[in-house]
């Protein structure tokens, strides 16, 4: 497997003629559009870095100077971040450029995340998935790989991830009738238990625990959470046949179907239809509206298996089960699956993107001193990814033709 990965990486590098020297981005668009591996440097007191790593479960901020490809921002704030990915040896980091100076930005960004890639030995699950979601027109952060150096010492391979904030909302949602859509109600979903959009009662407390408001924090709980409670309650109380008419003004149903179809196409096991309940998304209520939509976040657990059934949406996921019982929404889901195949296959996009990203990170991953897996494990995971696109397309096409769950679609 290692020889196969090395051969493919070398071949594709020659074909694509990808450079290895990072260019100096002048805008956030240029940073995230780059095809080269970036370099991020953090300069902070060595004692602060030691404290951050020792107390990695805390959200304590430390001052640091941040240099990206030679451009420096002084006195930013950094802290440990993540849930299952929190690490003392290779911390995931949030970088806030405006932590100590409210007007300070970098390339127009107020912050970004440095994903430590500790849950994905291939190093490309999330970055490839994010690129594919964007190709599908699904709201998602932009990402780019980078070598991270702390006080001039290589700390490992990371992914620079665009923060979901008002600037990102403006970029993704644009304007409606001249009104920039960046001042709605944004919530980050916080996993608590195996919840599948079932009714939690009329109290707002269960919704406050699960949906952390990241805009309009000072608004009343009634203003922030009652529309979410109403959406969930009506989803559970309404008969399937009446559901679109009842909640269509509260949830963008075509966008929802597009979102979950993409997650299932990419074999996501920890998303909205996760095996252990809903997880890893933002919920956004559009400005001056009660209409909610989903924003993709944290796709480390995509590409679980090329043979994950396309009807794998978790037993008891009320919203999905009701919609899939309706012919028009079932047909829409099937059509989105076909669209996923088309955009994955067009010009060999998904296959080429996987190969391109493996080539980009290969040396940096092998040299990563803090990765929690061996080089052999990385090479095996990268090799699996290199064959994933064709296998997944073939399997999904088969299930669309023969029916989801048809055992004849399996190779084993």
Contact between 361 and 354 under an 8 Å Cβ cutoff? The reply is no
Distances (CA, A) of 46 to 52, 64, 368: 10, 11, 20
Token look-up 């996760």 returns 274
For residues 37 and 145, the answer to whether their CB atoms sit within 8 Å is: yes
Q: Which residues contact 69 (CB under 8 A, 6 or more apart)?
A: 22, 23, 24, 25, 38, 39
| C-alpha triplet 393, 396, 399: angle, nearest 5° | 150
pLDDT of residue 16: 38
Give the span between the Cα atoms of 409 and 400, in whole angstroms.
10
Q: Which residues pair with 296 in a beta bridge?
A: 140, 281
Nearest CA to 373 among 171, 12, 120?
Answer: 120
Residue position matching structure tokens 């304590």: 60
| 261/281 Cα distance (integer angstroms) | 15
Neighbouring residues of 346: CB distance < 8 A, sequence distance ≥ 6: none
DSSP bridge partners of 63: 77
Tokens for 149? Answer: 């150096």
Crossing angle of helices 375-386 and 349-367, in 10° steps, is 170
Residue 145: enclosing H or E segment and its boundaries? Answer: strand 143-150
Question: Are the beta carbons of 134 and 117 closer than 8 angstroms?
Answer: no
pLDDT in tens, the chain (412 residues): 445 445 554 444 443 343 344 456 679 999 999 999 999 999 999 999 999 999 999 999 999 999 998 899 999 999 999 888 899 999 999 999 999 999 999 999 999 999 999 999 999 999 999 999 999 999 999 999 999 999 999 999 999 999 999 999 999 999 877 778 889 999 999 999 999 999 999 999 999 999 999 999 999 999 999 999 999 999 999 999 999 999 999 999 999 999 999 999 999 999 999 999 999 999 999 999 999 999 999 999 999 999 999 998 777 788 999 999 999 999 999 999 999 999 999 999 999 999 999 999 999 999 999 999 999 999 999 999 999 999 999 999 999 999 888 889 988 5
Q: Which residues pair with 161 in a beta bridge?
A: 113, 143
pLDDT at residue 24, rounded to an integer: 62
Q: What pairs with residue 281 in β-bridges?
A: 296
Distance from C-alpha of 31 to C-alpha of 95, rounded to nearest angstrom: 16
The single residue listed with the structure tokens 């901020």 is 61
Q: Are 293 and 253 spatial neighbours (Cβ–Cβ below 8 Å)?
A: no
Crossing angle of the two packed helices 327-345 and 388-402, in degrees rounded to 10: 150
Compute the distance between CA of residue 224 and CA of residue 285 in angstroms, rounded to an integer: 9
Cα 264 versus chain centre, distance = 14
Give the Cα separation of 196 and 272 in Å (integer): 8
Q: What is the pLDDT of residues 146-198, one digit of tens each?
A: 999 999 999 999 999 999 999 999 999 998 777 788 899 999 999 999 999 99
> What pLDDT does 26 receive?
77
Q: How far apart are the first and last CA of the chain?
A: 20
pTM equals 0.91
């Amino acid at each position: 497997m290692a020889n196969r990965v090395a051969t493919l990486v070398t071949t594709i590098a020659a074909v694509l003629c990808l450079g290895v020297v990072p260019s100096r981005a002048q805008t956030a668009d240029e940073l995230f559009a780059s095809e080269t591996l970036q370099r991020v440097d953090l300069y902070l007191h060595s004692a602060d870095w030691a404290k951050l790593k020792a107390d990695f479960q805390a959200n304590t901020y430390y001052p640091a100077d941040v240099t990206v490809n030679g451009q420096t921002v002084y006195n930013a704030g950094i802290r440990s971040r993540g849930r299952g990915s929190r690490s003392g040896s290779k911390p995931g980091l949030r970088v806030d450029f405006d932590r100590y100076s409210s007007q300070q930005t970098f390339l127009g960004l107020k912050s970004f995340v440095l994903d430590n890639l500790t849950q994905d030995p291939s190093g490309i699950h999330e970055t490839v998935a994010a690129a594919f979601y964007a190709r599908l027109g699904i709201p998602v952060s932009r990402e780019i790989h980078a070598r991270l150096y702390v006080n001039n010492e290589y700390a490992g391979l990371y992914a620079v991830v665009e923060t979901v904030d008002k600037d990102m909302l403006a970029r993704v949602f644009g304007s409606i009738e001249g009104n920039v859509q960046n001042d709605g109600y944004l919530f980050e979903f916080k996993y608590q238990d195996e919840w599948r959009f079932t009714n939690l009662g009329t109290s707002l407390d269960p919704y406050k625990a699960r949906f952390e408001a990241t805009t309009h924090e000072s608004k009343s709980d009634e203003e922030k959470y009652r529309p979410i409670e109403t959406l969930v309650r009506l989803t559970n109380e309404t008969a399937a046949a009446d559901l679109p008419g009842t909640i269509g003004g509260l949830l963008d149903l075509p966008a929802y179907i597009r979102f979950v179809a993409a997650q299932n196409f990419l074999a996501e096991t920890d998303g909205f239809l996760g095996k252990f309940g809903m997880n890893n998304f933002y919920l956004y209520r559009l400005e001056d509206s009660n209409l909610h939509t989903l924003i993709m976040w944290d796709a480390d657990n995509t590409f679980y298996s090329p043979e994950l059934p396309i009807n794998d949406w978790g037993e008891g996921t009320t919203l999905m089960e009701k919609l899939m019982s309706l012919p028009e929404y079932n047909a829409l889901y099937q059509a989105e699956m076909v669209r996923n195949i088309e955009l994955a296959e067009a010009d060999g996009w998904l296959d080429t993107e996987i190969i391109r990203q493996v080539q980009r990170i290969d040396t940096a991953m092998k040299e990563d001193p803090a990765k929690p897996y061996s080089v052999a494990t990385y090479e095996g995971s990268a090799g699996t990814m290199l064959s994933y696109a064709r296998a997944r397309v073939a399997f999904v096409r088969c299930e669309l033709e023969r029916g989801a769950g048809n055992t004849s679609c399996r190779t084993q």
